[in-house]
Structure 1
Amino acid sequence: MQQWALGLRQGIGGMRGQSRVWIREAEHFVLRVVSLAFSLASAHAIRWLLSPLDGVDVLQVYITWGVAIGFGILGFFLSRGLAHRMMNKEKIWAYLPICIVVEFFEIFCNFCLAASVISRATWLNEVPQAQRHVLEILVYIALSIVPLVSMLLAVVDMDLARQKQGGGAKPKAVNPSAWQQQPAAQGGYAQGYNGNGWQQPAATKQAPGSNQNGAAPLGVV
């Protein structure tokens, strides 16, 4: 009975360990997919803002779609490149301006899209007048910060990638000065490391009145 209970506990512990590993292995992929979805949502807002240009010629429709998708993919990679350089303490001054321009344009397009559809939020008419203006401002902010969510996910993405490449904490270096001369063992030998090399074995202590061979000195009966 005890063996059966022990086996059951070990099986449950193994299942828990597998579930924990599965979550840690899947979160990186899921975060990347979600971040790409947010980038494509910003691309849709850019496409909506550029849609009045479709009537210029036949190719303009494809051009606006290409620009919108290009901005979405560009924001996805630029945010990760910036986060990676910041974590490695590299220079970002040549990289930062384009990131700021892309993020500003994405936020601006999302804000314009929110301004055009805010009138469809009929539930705001049911809110008390004292809270309506505050909620309208919060709706504008919530619909405009989608690109910032992608930026924050990029930081988490690069942090997880760095942890996988690092392979865990580095072992502590051994300080040679910590090795001191050890006490004499049985037989009278002691050695240690003093930072300059291994010390020679200590000489055996001689008993008073005896020579190195252990024999009694001359003249002693």
Structure 2
Amino acid sequence: MEPKDGGLLIVLSGPSGVGKGTVCKALRSRMPELVYSVSATTRAPREGEREGTDYFFRTREEFLEMIRSDALLEYTEYVGNYYGTPRDFVERTLAEGKDIILEIDVAGARQVKEKFPRGVFVFLLPPSFEALKQRIAGRGTEPPEIIAHRLRKAAEEVARVRDYQYAVVNDDIEACCARIQAIITAEHCRSERVPPGYFREFERMTSAGPISER
């Protein structure tokens, strides 16, 4: 019988245009047991969106209280609305022994790491700067100055890669997902994640003290 541990918080981050959403969607299709972190927001629900599935919809006053009470792992304001990751949803999911994935930008990941350093932080890299440039410019919806700004920001964000435990190049969706799955498997096999209770019967056979504390 394998020792059971708690779930993992996997934080998938990287620059805009690197394909975080596509990789996250593909990863969840390969790992249906992987829980997607649901964000809280102050914006109004759109047609078809469901409470607790797409978002946790909150009033502005409720969201501000969540900020004051440190009930969010991270938050940001965008176009007049707040968005954030509820701490209780993440912690409850982990306590149930389930893995949860949070797809987020670099600034948000930095906030999460400050409040939840035991998470597994994965930085998604483009195959090359030129590949990222083609992806951003290829949309054909933004003027050159906006594209240049996004590329400068992406370069600054890539410079933060050393803040992460893992870096995965998104050169092929299937290969990228396989690498992230391997990271998740390896993290579950870390010796410090074996719960202390697993060792009790073994400790009865030795006088060297608790195995989990050595």
Taking structure 2 as the reference length, the TM-score comes to: 0.18
Q: Which has the larger radius of gyration?
A: 1
Higher helix share: 1
| Higher normalized strand content (fraction of residues) | 2
